[in-house]
Structure 1
Amino acid sequence: MTSSKKPSNSSAKNENLYAIAETSGQQFWFEVDKYYDIDRLNAKEKDKITIDKILLIKDKDNISLGQPYVKNAKIELEVVSHKRDKKIIVYKMRPKKKTRRKMGHRQELTRVMVKSISITNSTPKTSSKTEVKKKSTSPKASNPEN
């Protein structure tokens, strides 16, 4: 994971704001106005992406911990570019058998910039109980017998 702070005049409210989220099978520590390299996403450059699998959010003195995820929390990301990681060499050899195998691998990555981290407090819907009236049974009219 590569991260770097974008040179800007960051406000004091974002200095203590961070979130730990799960994406691409890994957990990342996200902060606003920083970029991160995650596994390749099926999105174009300048696209907006929302992550809702948030494990923890810290904002100054408030910590929200999910079980397993924080409800009504999201991270807004913007795709900056697609790139490939540096090459990794894999070399396999069986001694005394003259068997050698050399392979390389380059991981496909997407560079994203964190735009915002937010949690919305939604009030639970209150269900108003409607009174159910019982059907009043009227006495049946008796047929007079002669």
Structure 2
Amino acid sequence: MTYAIIETGGKQLRVEPGRFYDIELLAAEPDATVTIEKVLLVQHDGNVTVGQPLINGATVEGTVVRHLRGRKVLVYKMKPKKKTRKKRGHRQEITRLMIDSINLNGSKLTAQAAATTETSASQAPAETTEETASE
């Protein structure tokens, strides 16, 4: 399994290739490719690379799916015995980002590469079991 921990919008987020995430609004049009260079950690096939605080040469590429607004948050302020009340609402602007690949030192770590690695690893022991059974 391949994943990375990135920083965007002042928050840290664990991302995997082939999945989408809702993050703070990015200044990019829908269907545009975005590269995030603030990568804090990358894990690929059991090898963990940790930055101090960032990993040099590591990037995460994603495609902007769409822009939307989050759920409404109500803010209610009241001072007791003073008859002052304020009710406000807020909806955060959000960008839905589809993670395409995680790049580490020029090599792409995609969901397809991880899936083929898992498939080949799961098939290899099955073949050796059949060989030992036939002997």
Which TM-score band (shorter chain)?
0.7 to 0.9
Number of residue equivalences: 107
User: Over residues 46-83 of structure 1, what are the superposed CA-to-partner deviations in whole Å (9 max), with x where a residue is unaligned?
Assistant: 00000111100000121111011111111001000000
Q: Which whole-Å CA distance do the structure 2 matches of 1:79 and 1:118 have between them?
A: 18
Structure 1 runs not aligned, ≥5 long: 1-15, 123-146
- Equivalence for 1:113: 98
Unmatched 5+ residue regions in structure 2?
108-135
Task: Give the Cα–Cα distance (whole angstroms) in 2 for the partners of residues 79 and 99 of structure 1.
Answer: 43
After superposition, where does 1:34-113 map in structure 2 within 5 Å? 34-113=19-98
Once the two structures are TM-superposed, the CA of residue 120 in structure 1 deviates from its matched residue by: 1.4
CA shift for structure 1 position 121: 5.8
CA separation of 1:108 and 1:65: change in aligned 2, threshold 3 A: same
What is the match of residue 21 of structure 1? 6
From the two aligned structures, give the one with the greater helix fraction: 2
Alpha-carbon distance in structure 2 between the residues aligned to 1:45 and 1:121: 26
Larger Rg: 1
Structure with greater contact order relative to length (CA < 8 Å, sep ≥ 6): 2
| Aligned structure 1 segments of 4 or more residues deviating by more than 3 angstroms | none
Percent sequence identity over matched residues? 48
SS for the counterpart of 2:26 is coil
Q: Could you state the TM-score of these two structures normalised by the residue count of structure 2?
A: 0.77
